[in-house]
Amino acid sequence: MSSVFSAIENKIASLPVSLELVLPDGTHLGSPGSQVRMMVKDKASLMHLAAGQVGVIGEDYVEGKVDIDGSMRDLMRLAVAILPGSPVDAARGGWLTSLVQNLVSVWRHSIERDERQIQFHYDLSDDFYALWLDPRRVYSCAYFREPDMTVAQAQEAKLDHICRKLKLHAGERMLDVGAGWGGLLLWAAEHYGVDATGITLSKNQHAHVNRLIEEKGLGGRVRMHLLDYRKLDESVPYDKIASVGMFEHVGRAQLKGYFSKLRRLVRPGGLVLNHGITAGGIDNPELGSGMGEFIEKYIFPGGELTHISNVLATLTDGGLEDLDVENLRPHYARTLWAWSDALEARLPEARAILGGEQGERSLRAYRMYLAGCAMGFEHGWVALHQVVAQPISTGRADELDYPADLNYPWRRDYIYRPQ
């Protein structure tokens, strides 16, 4: 154990953030009054720290084996410094690993399991999420069209960015797959006049959005269903489809089926926009150093990421043609830091809302999750891609003449041109 102490002392001396470490026997390493103070209650946690297993240290914090004082921003700078290497490289495996992961992905994404996994995360507490999200509760990457935007302004800019990419027009039938608390669904209906249908597996979100629809008097052309995407009726196709922050829950082994379903749901010439988190590495199924396991255990059970190259490959296999691809990775880093800062500013209220021992564990998990994900996006370990697609062309000779039943023009001007 003395060698572990020595290794930790050497690390503390070279860290970009000052650290005071209190060991299980009461020994202090580092200087009092440091930016981060970490109280380690068992020797196993000390070993995790020495090995740079930051995800496992996060688990130890959630379980009360480690206590931490200091800002989350300083803590994440410390976490990056103690990593033994890139968490993207650390998570790579061989062909057998890939085969096993594919089988596991198939197994854990039944309709019943997906429903339980979604409700585990999104039905934690509406009041808790309302503490640190914007007033519309848009729980996905914002779009900072201007550098000085607040996160609430950037979320509205994101909603409009999506609507413009989809070229929404009044009277069109739009589907929002995984509609959350209704931000995009209601924005599209109120600002673009579409007939909008949303689906979710979260009971809390379903109830919340239906209350908003009634309050806004939109019942005639907006609806929200508690429904799995695989059960959507394909008999009357939609003009436009958006899927925002949802395909991470689909599972890599199901992506071809997911995109095939979207193709069958959209009319020929219609548009599909898929907005979701992608892996920073081509081969890694999750982040290493225990970070992927932390997210799976405490935040998003069943969540799976894949590289944008695989997204485009499976999208094509599913019968869709990619038209526009945009990486919003820096936007998500800023969004997540805004959420993290908002939660840190209201910790007493969050504790009162969540309540009890389990509530404290959830709060600790979310503190680590928001700041840790912000760190991951900053370093390019994960990314966020918006992909606009349409059903693959059948060789129409009139595509370049802007026929009425095709929506995608030759240039991107329509997305960025001031209105």
Crossing angle for the helix pair 72-82 and 2-14, nearest 10 degrees? 120
Q: How far apart are CA 199 and CA 205, in angstroms?
A: 10
Alpha-carbon torsion angle 11, 14, 16, 18, nearest 10 = 70
Residue 100 is predicted with a pLDDT of 38
DSSP for 13-53? HH-SS-EEEE-TTS-EES-TT-SEEEEE-SHHHHHHHHHT-
The pLDDT, as a whole number, for residue 275 is 97
- In this prediction, residue 108 carries a pLDDT of 46
pLDDT of residue 106: 40
Query: The whole model's pTM is what?
Result: 0.88
Which residue segments constitute the domains of the chain, with CATH numbers given? 2-84 (3.30.1050.10), 95-416 (3.40.50.150)
Ranges under pLDDT 70 in the chain: 1-10, 13, 85, 90-123, 284-290, 300, 302, 394, 402, 410, 419
Residues belonging to the active site: 373
DSSP 247: G
The pLDDT value recorded for residue 287 is 67
Q: Could you tell me where the DSSP H helices lie in 63-196?
A: 72-82, 95-107, 111-122, 126-132, 151-165, 183-192
DSSP state of 143: -
pLDDT at 352: 96
Residue 308 has a pLDDT of: 95
